[in-house]
Amino acid sequence: MRFSQQGEVLRVLTPAKINLSLRILGRRPDGYHDLQTLMVSVGLSDVLQFSPAPFPEVSLRLFSGLPGAAQIPVDDRNLILKAARLLQQEMSPRQGVEITLWKRIPSEAGLGGGSSDAAATLMALNRYWRLNLPSNRLHELAAKLGSDVNFFLDSPPAAFCTGRGEKINAWSLPRPLHVVIIKPPFGLSTGRVFQAWGKRESHENSTNHQPDNDPFQQFRVCHPPSKGVRKLQSLLQNDLEPPARTMTPDLEELLSRLNHLDVIGSGMTGSGSACFALCRTARQARTIAGRCRNWRVGQVFVVSSGV
Is the Cβ of residue 23 or residue 178 nearer to ligand C5P in the bound state?
A: 23
Q: Is 110 in the site for ligand C5P (CB under 6 A)?
A: no
Of 40-48, 142-150, 171-179, 229-237: span binding ligand C5P (CB under 6 A) = 142-150
Q: Which is nearer to ligand C5P, 33 or 104 (CB)?
A: 33
Say whether 82 is catalytic.
no
- Phi and psi (nearest 5°) for 256? -75, -35
Select from 9-17, 27-35, 178-186, 247-255 the region that touches ligand C5P (CB under 6 A): 27-35
Nearer of residues 45 and 116 to ligand C5P, judged by Cβ = 116
Q: How far is the CB of 191 from ligand C5P (least distance, A)?
A: 4
228 forms part of the interface with ligand C5P (CB under 6 A): no
**Residue nearer to ligand C5P on the CB measure, 7 or 29:** 29
Exactly one of 93, 157, 165, 243 binds ligand C5P (CB under 6 A); which one? 165
Say whether residue 186 binds ligand C5P (CB under 6 A): no
Active site residue 148: yes
* Interface contacts to ligand C5P, rule CB under 6 A: 32-33, 35, 146-148, 164-165, 190-191, 194
Residues classed as catalytic: 17, 148
